[in-house]
Structure 1
Amino acid sequence: MKNNYILALSGNDIFSGGGLHADLTTYTVNKLHGFVAVTCLTAMTDKGFEVIPVDEEVFSQQLASLKDVPFSAIKIGLLPNVDIAEQALEFIQAHQEIPVVLDPVLVCKESHDTEVSQLRDELLRFFPHVTIITPNLAEAQLLTQKDIKTVEEMKQAAHALYELGAKYVVIKGGNRLNKDKATDVYYDGREFLVLETPILASNNIGAGCTFASSIASQLVLGKEPLEAVRLSKEFVYRAIEASDEYGVIQYEK
């Protein structure tokens, strides 16, 4: 491990269970020094949960401020629009020597309007430049433009995303296929692996953010991709067990 510097490009969750809060908590648990470039703010309004992109110039200045930090890995979370995504892509293209984990967040925009289509197309451009992608089932459907209702269809989707340039793919099925188990499919271009854990009654807000930032952490710590994914799925399970109503981990005192 060259150093313990690790970056998250992610949004601020106003309730602190997901986004940059989950990323920094995960980095700290793994004894890493976490940095964040904030992509967006969020708020609960009379219109519901809203995502407010940061000003594009402000995001550019954040990235410029970090250009000389010798990061050992980067995790990418919520990119709220194409312009922010384009800047993030240029940044990671200048850091191809380190692992990059992409959590292609599209669920908060889970409709098929023009903005989602444009952001989907932009995220696909990231695939050849990242190490692992971690879409959930809904995001995998948006990215592949195919319905996914079975584990076999998850495997087909993982293969399709691999063919689009992703080196390693993890599709997070959650409990959408089985109400008793959280089912994920891992694919490395050669073989598939199905990973399962029991479903917990606890709040799972921020689970996806934690999973991706844990994988990035494990890669910094020298783990191979499959082992990083295995350890991260176990870590997320324990984190959900210990979380409060906002998805924040409650540590024993």
Structure 2
Amino acid sequence: MLIVAGSDSGGGAGIQADIKAVTALGAYAATAVTALTAQDTRGVRAVHPVPLDFLQLQIRMSLEDIGADCIKTGMLADAATIDAVCDALAGCGVKLVADPVMVAKGGARLLEPGAVETLKRRLMPLATILTPNLPEAEVLSGMSIPDAETMEHAAEVLMTLGVPAVLLKGGHLDGPVVRDVLATEDGLEVFESPRIDTPHTHGTGCTLASAIAAGLAQGLGLRDSVVRARAYVEAAIRSAPGYGHGHGPLDHAVTVDPARLAALG
């Protein structure tokens, strides 16, 4: 599969998290880097965009040689980048998981406000599924989402914008239970998980979207891809190594069994 996203120098989110998640779930990750960031668990210090012709070249070379059974997009930064990516993907006919990354865990803005309409107009119609968190969904839908009940309506509203499926993530709401809403043409389904009390949740959105894309690339159905991805992210949070002084990374290698590897040696 092909991942089109920004680089996280801290390794917890962005394309580094994407590669780890896809690999941990047994799929193959090719990449097209949209931007370089200088960041750690405490926040983003600087962003350096990749030239658009070079970004398109990365996409074209990956698709023409290795190919892709699914594509995942993450940080696209601005309208010009969104246009360049959509132009490069036009007509490829590959499933697309669109994670509309707007703000980093530490609060840094990763999508220019003026690019939201371009994202809605160009990227969303290409997507197989959109995976916004609540703040992103509020921007895209134009409505406030203060509670779990409103989440369901918001997911339905997002589907009217041209995307056939939405996984609206409810982690930003308070409470002992985290609820995510999957909206498809068949209706709504709510998934619930106990909230894990930890600051080490950096990159959960990137990881979840890439885990879903890995499932789709491997031939799983949309619902099964979501169920497996949620289970993987929960396990990765529970075994987070506790690195850094802010929002630490997950344990993306939670699926790896060192004892089994040692036995093969």
Check whether TM > 0.5.
yes
- Alignment partner, residue 195 of structure 2: 199
Instruction: Give the alignment's TM-score, normalised by structure 2.
Output: 0.85
- Alignment partner, residue 132 of structure 1: 129
1:20 corresponds to 2:10: no
1:56 corresponds to 2:52: yes
Map 1:45-194 onto structure 2 (within 5 A).
49-68=45-64, 69-96=66-93, 98-108=94-104, 116-124=112-120, 125-174=122-171, 176-194=172-190
- Alignment partner, residue 3 of structure 1: none
Contact 1:18 1:209 in 2 (8 A): yes
Task: Report the CA distance between 1:248 and its aligned residue.
Answer: 4.2
Contact 1:39 1:84 in 2 (8 A): yes
In 1, Cα distance between equivalents of 2:37 and 2:116: 21
Task: Report the CA distance between 1:72 and its aligned residue.
Answer: 0.7
**Corresponding residue SS for 2:86:** helix
In 2, Cα distance between equivalents of 1:225 and 1:57: 32
Question: Over aligned residue pairs, what C-alpha RMSD do you find?
Answer: 2.3
Amino acid at match of 1:107: V
In 1, Cα distance between equivalents of 2:52 and 2:183: 35
Contact 1:77 1:102 in 2 (8 A): yes
Contact 2:77 2:112 in 1 (8 A): no
Amino acid at match of 1:200: I
- Alignment partner, residue 208 of structure 2: 211
Contact 2:164 2:184 in 1 (8 A): yes
Task: Report the CA distance between 1:48 and its aligned residue.
Answer: 5.2
Amino acid at match of 1:231: R
In 1, Cα distance between equivalents of 2:112 and 2:55: 21
Contact 1:159 1:189 in 2 (8 A): no
2:238 counterpart (233, 241, 252)? 241
Amino acid at match of 1:134: T
Task: Report the CA distance between 1:177 and its aligned residue.
Answer: 2.2
Q: Any stretches of 5+ residues in structure 2 without a counterpart? A: 259-265
Identity of aligned residues (%): 30
Distance 1:32 1:190, change over 3 A: closer
- Alignment partner, residue 38 of structure 2: 43
- Alignment partner, residue 31 of structure 1: 26
Superposition misfits of 4+ residues, deviation over 3 angstroms: 108-112, 250-253
Amino acid at match of 2:14: G
Task: Report the CA distance between 1:26 and its aligned residue.
Answer: 1.3
Amino acid at match of 2:98: L
Distance 1:199 1:9, change over 3 A: same
In 2, Cα distance between equivalents of 1:12 and 1:104: 15
* Number of positions where the alignment pairs a residue of Structure 1 with one of Structure 2: 244
Q: Any stretches of 5+ residues in structure 1 without a counterpart? A: 1-5
Which digits, 9 at most, give the CA deviation of each residue in 1:74-131, with x for residues without a partner?
Answer: 01011011111111112222222x211000011249799xx73321111112122110
